[in-house]
Chain A
Amino acid sequence: MVKFIKIILILIVIFCFFSQPALAKAKVLTDIKVIHASTESRHVDPSLKKIIPKLKSVFKYTSYRLLKNQRLNLNFNQKGRVNLPGKKTLIVMPSDIEGKRIRYHIVIQKNNHPIFQTQVLLKNNSSITIGGPQFNNGTLLFNISGSMR
Chain B
Amino acid sequence: MKKQCNKYTSEDISRFVDNELPRNRYHELVQHLSHCPECKLLVEQYRSISAAFNEHADQQELKIGTGKLKQKVDHVIQNSQKKPVGTVFGLFSKNIYLKLASITAILMISLFIFQEGLFDPAGPSAVVTSVDTDFSSVMIFETQKEKHTIIWFSET
Contacts and interface: CB of A to CB of B under 8 A. Distances in A.
Tell which of A57, A99, A129, A132 has the most Cβ of chain B within 10 Å: A132
B127 A101 contact: yes
Nearest to B107: A15
A114 to B, nearest CB: 8
B125 interface: yes
A19 B116 CA distance: 11
A129 B151 CA distance: 6
B93 interface: yes
Interface stretch (B5-13, B42-50, B53-61, B129-137): B129-137
A129 B150 contact: yes
B78 to A, nearest CB: 16
Contacts of A127: 125-126, 148
Contact of B127 (A8, A120, A131): A120
Contacts of A19: 110-111, 114-115
A74 to B, nearest CB: 17
Contacts of A91: none
Interface in B121-150: 121, 123-135, 141, 143-146, 148-150
Contacts of B111: 15, 19
A23 interface: no
B98 to A, nearest CB: 11
B152 interface: yes
27 contacts: A1-B92, A2-B85, A4-B99, A11-B106, A12-B106, A19-B115, A20-B114, A54-B145, A57-B143, A58-B143, A99-B121, A100-B119, A115-B133, A116-B134, A118-B151, A119-B128, A120-B126, A120-B127, A120-B128, A120-B129, A123-B121, A123-B123, A123-B125, A128-B150, A129-B149, A130-B151, A134-B156
Interface of B: 85-86, 88-89, 92-93, 99, 102-103, 106-107, 110-111, 114-116, 119-121, 123-135, 141, 143-146, 148-156
